[in-house]
Chain A
Amino acid sequence: MAMRELVTGGAACAVPGSSSSSNPLSALANALTGSSSKTRDRIKEIPTSTTTGTEPPFYQDATAEDRLKALPGADFDHSFSRHPTLQSSEFLRNFRTADQNGFADAWEEIHRSGPPPPPALLDHRLPPPQFQPTLEGPPQRVLSNFLHSFVGSSHGGIPFRPAPLPALGLSEGDKQCIRDRSSIMARHFFADKNEDFINAQVNALLSSLDIDGDVQAKGPFAGRFRELEDYWNESQGAPRHGPPQTDGWVSEFSQHRIEHGDPNAWAHSFEQQHGPNSWASEFEQEQRLVSAADQMRGANISNLAAMEQTRMLAHTLAQNNDPKFQNSKFLQFVSKMSSGELIIDDNQVKPAALSSPGDWATEYQQKYTAGPSWVDEYAGNQLSHGPDQWANEFSAEREQRPVDDQWVNEFSKLHVNDWADEFGRQVGEGAFGESSADNWADAYDEYLNEQVVAKQNSDASRGVYVFSDMNPYVGHPNPLKEGQELFRKGLLSESVLALEAEVLKNPDNAEGWRLLGIAHAENDDDQQAIAAMMRAHEADPTNLEVLLALGVSHTNELEQAAALKYLYGWLRHHPKYGTLANPELSDSLYYADVARLFNEAAEMSPEDADVHVVLGVLYNLSREYDKAIASFQRALKLKPQDYSLWNKLGATQANSVQSAEAILAYQQALDLKPNYVRAWANMGISYANQGMYEDSIRYYVRALAMNPKADNAWQYLRISLSCASRNDLFEACDSRNLDVLQKEFPL
């Protein structure tokens, strides 16, 4: 990193010339030459010791070594702790007043031609300052006058009288500053537009200010490199598309932040797939060629392109009918700057003769005497920007697509090939050599396809029940009875095996699947629980217990739509409340409708504990925990022996930040059913939430001892170990070594 910043700091860092610089080279250069505005900034901020003899040592240090900036905030202790009494610092403050503000004020005054200075500045203006070094000063002040009077004139209808720009013009740093900031901001303003448009916008503004070509040529492709890495990292988790990842892909051409980050990761994996066939070097060669070509074409093309883009801008602005936007000073500012109504000529700002848009071509010809050849050049330019068209097409298509839950898959299937091919083709015709681009596109295409396949596989795996390998109950004469017996005894893991044997034997046995689902839920394994319950639901779509269990499981996963579906199904299939259900409703379920129906049901038969249970679950879904707690408590009055109800009450209390009460409820559940793994795990969570990590670990370990397959509990355990600063036990946790953990944390 250090090396990169040394070399390229100007690009990645803020603004070497204007107000800040972290680039060691430019800082060094400033210090040596003493000619940049940056150095002057420092001088005015640092009190010099030549005039005083009795300063605190810090200030002498600072003046000797120009260290004020090198030690950020080093003056803090002094001014903070000593104020307001110390005399010498009082003196310094006065000194600084004179030095700092006087300088700035003088600046404002000298260069402010049009509008009056802001009132606050007038208060502490100084007599003619003797510090002023040269006439051409920090250029942004000059520019700000110019920009301001320009904006002001557009507002009040006053004819714009441009102030003469001093010879210095804009420093490279300022140009870069304008360029970087306006391109980042433009992405926010013009969210609806594609990258192409945004770039055009920015370029138009920049070219009007005579900021272009040279700045841009520094690293037009740097961004791509970065994007590849982004893709690599991000698509590990998700093939995601959105600016700046996708659209930004192209725009990064022009955004020259040479931040390669860690391209090795990408390059490495690329090499693993395709062998180290010097992709990188090829790429760099191409890059050099192209940027050289760009430079050769020079500013002519960019100006021309900017002018062309002007029309796009005018078009867009005209499209927005909102009067507020039509009146926006900022948008007018952007518009005028980019439409060439303002030009910088011979270091003088001139309003261009207000000509019809068609004249730009003529003007251009006159100015650059490019003759008819500009058409060719322009065409060439278009070609070299071929990928932009891809961005257009891509965003156009994307906008048309409705957002649905399958969009990623669909997108990948439909568009990945398209754009990769398209890109390959375009770059083949365009500026790049064929081999590298094609390789890249192919590789990326392949990679994305793999991702899609992997994704589909993982989707499929959800909801599929996974059987245990070695099941001693296979061949048992009556595994269902055995499973029920084991479940009653609280031997959950054993009963799971027996029930698996049952459903292997009778795959349509709803009761077998249901009990299996319950056993998994109580064993704190929701994935398997949902999978089993889905099978039970297939076997018997009207089983109320199954519907309720599925509703609860989906509530646990915070999947509102699915939960509502099953809970509503429960109501619809209930012999008593089925009449309440409106068949039309089942297509589009809204939480409010379902909740209303269950409230009606509860009024109908207030003595039915089940209705209160469902209501409690529903209120969990809407996070109305107080109501949920009330519902569960009502149900518990009717069914005090239902351990799972006590657990639900506890979970709800825990979720509404009543962890202490929750522990009491879990205790009730565990008194009724000592092998209730989920309650043990929940108990651990409640202790963890109260900051009692050691206790929480004991409960997690206890739960895991009963069911080592409870993956969630292992995760929770790891978190508690970390919070309790028991990192020494991470290894035991990661290797799932319960013996060590139980010894360390007996309950």
Chain B
Amino acid sequence: MPVFKTPFNGYSVKFSPFYESRLAVATAQNFGILGNGRLHVLSLPPAPASPLTELISFDTADGIYDLAWSESHDSLLVAAVADGSVKLYDTALAPAQNPIRSLQEHTREVHSVDYNPTRRDSFITASWDDTIKLWTLDRPASIRTFKEHVYCVYSAAWNPRHTDVFASASGDCTVRIWDVREPGSTMIIPGHDFEILCCDWNKYDDCIIATASVDKSIKVWDVRSSRAPISVLNGHGYAVRKVKFSPHHRNLMVSCSYDMSVCMWDFMVEDALVGRYDHHTEFAVGVDLSVLVDGLMASTGWDELVYVWQHGNGPESTLTKGSVSCFPFFFFFVKSFCIFLMEVVRLEVKA
């Protein structure tokens, strides 16, 4: 399994959408609590046994919590920096010529960034200042600020089909669905009893969204009927930090957790845990699936290591099937918000 040792603690890893052997890693010193950050661009070795090689790296004055590859330029990266800035890097330019842009608007740590996969000219950032901001490449300032959450926003993810729709996950225990053409959020899902750290849309069904929470569970929701989750995936021993749907299989997703493991799930079957990877020795906080190679996974964590492997044949593919179950979960709340399904959501059709 190709490995790369980063000098700082890993925070996020993402495969390039343009080159199947390229990936980028965001890191932060001192576990992201205080210190510098570094963005690495890595290349997969031709032989699986050899280590990953670094193509270039960029330093920042504060930790980098997340990154996103541009969907329009193969060399463009966006970094979410803990000092509240959003920085753009061009990997074709020397480190000294970077960042090509530094967008300073968030008043607190920027925790996630997501590049719009359908419009390809814009991205959103989620911050601990409780807001989400929408940016485009051609403007020096954000286009819009979405402020409704009442606590840190940990992640925001574009819908894979509806170009104006995204979801945000927050420490206020809600997920909100937004349409950038609408003044406010179009839907609020009070998904967990504890902070929600991440959300991601299914790449095949634009109504299905997964949430990862401090309550150790992952829940899968149908936004057309968000009163109860479609399924609840239990198996992580600590807070679930990230969740990501497979770009190749409708029912598969991966997650990583403060229990130091990376898990793969099939949310449609009862025994949902497909595999568990225990290679990290500190909190596993970053995981990604390659869009270009089916089953190619990468993970990073606070053990300062980046791993890349093919699902199923990693040397540590200890597929320990745990006591994992999927059960219907009843959730109660008064539906008094104007829950108004915009075209976000393919409307529920009644038989």
Contacts and interface: CB of A to CB of B under 8 A. Distances in A.
Interface of A: 5, 9, 12-15, 18-20, 22, 41, 69, 71-76, 79-80, 83, 93-94, 96-97, 100-101, 104, 118-121, 124, 138, 140-141, 143-144, 147-148, 174, 177-178, 180-182, 184-185, 187-189, 191, 226, 229-230, 233-234, 236-238, 240-245, 248, 259, 261, 322, 324-325, 327-330, 333, 403-409, 451, 454-455, 458, 521, 524, 526, 552, 555-561, 590, 592, 617, 620, 622-623, 647-648, 650-652, 654-655, 657, 662, 678, 681-682, 685-686, 688-689, 715-716, 718-719, 722-723
Nearest to B241: A188
A120 B140 contact: no
Contacts of A245: 172-173
Contact of B101 (A73, A238, A681): A73
B312 interface: no
Given A557-B225, A719-B340, 13 more contacts: A14-B82, A19-B83, A94-B96, A124-B95, A147-B34, A184-B128, A184-B171, A189-B283, A191-B214, A229-B150, A240-B333, A623-B268, A655-B348
A73 B351 CA distance: 52
Contacts of A143: 30, 34-35
Contacts of A556: 348, 350-351
Contacts of A678: 350
Given A230-B150, A236-B337, A406 B332 contact: yes
A100 B282 contact: no
Interface string B320-331: 000000001111
B121 interface: no
B140 A74 contact: yes
Contacts of A73: 88, 101-103, 140
Contact of A178 (B33, B108, B241, B342): B33
Given A93-B94, A330-B282, A80 B100 contact: yes
B78 to A, nearest CB: 11
B177 to A, nearest CB: 13
B126 interface: no
Interface in B126-152: 128-130, 140-141, 150-152
B350 A524 contact: yes
Residue of A72, A322, A558 with highest tally of chain B CB at under 10 A: A72
A648 B351 contact: yes
A79 B97 contact: yes
Nearest to A90: B97
Give me the 7 closest cross-chain CB pairs, A-B, nearest first.
A238-B333, A405-B330, A97-B96, A20-B83, A242-B193, A73-B101, A118-B7
17 contacts: A9-B107, A15-B83, A20-B84, A20-B85, A73-B88, A76-B100, A76-B140, A83-B97, A148-B29, A187-B195, A188-B214, A238-B332, A328-B282, A330-B283, A404-B330, A455-B334, A526-B350
Contacts of B331: 405
B270 A244 contact: no
Contacts of B278: 324
B349 interface: yes
B173 A240 contact: yes
Contacts of A14: 82-84, 107-109
B332 A620 contact: no
A511 B93 CA distance: 77
Contacts of A100: 96
Contacts of A623: 268
B102 A72 contact: yes
B32 A181 contact: yes
Nearest to B93: A83
Contacts of A327: 281
Nearest to A408: B332
B351 A651 contact: yes
B3 interface: no
A718 B342 CA distance: 9
A12 B131 CA distance: 13
Contacts of B62: 15, 18-20
A651 B347 CA distance: 11
Nearest to B90: A80
B215 A140 contact: no
Contacts of A144: 29-30, 34-36
Interface in B73-95: 82-85, 88, 90, 93-95
Contacts of A682: 349-350
A191 B188 contact: no
Nearest to A656: B205
A244 B225 contact: no
A191 B197 CA distance: 12
B18 interface: no
B21 interface: no
Interface string B231-251: 000000111010000000000
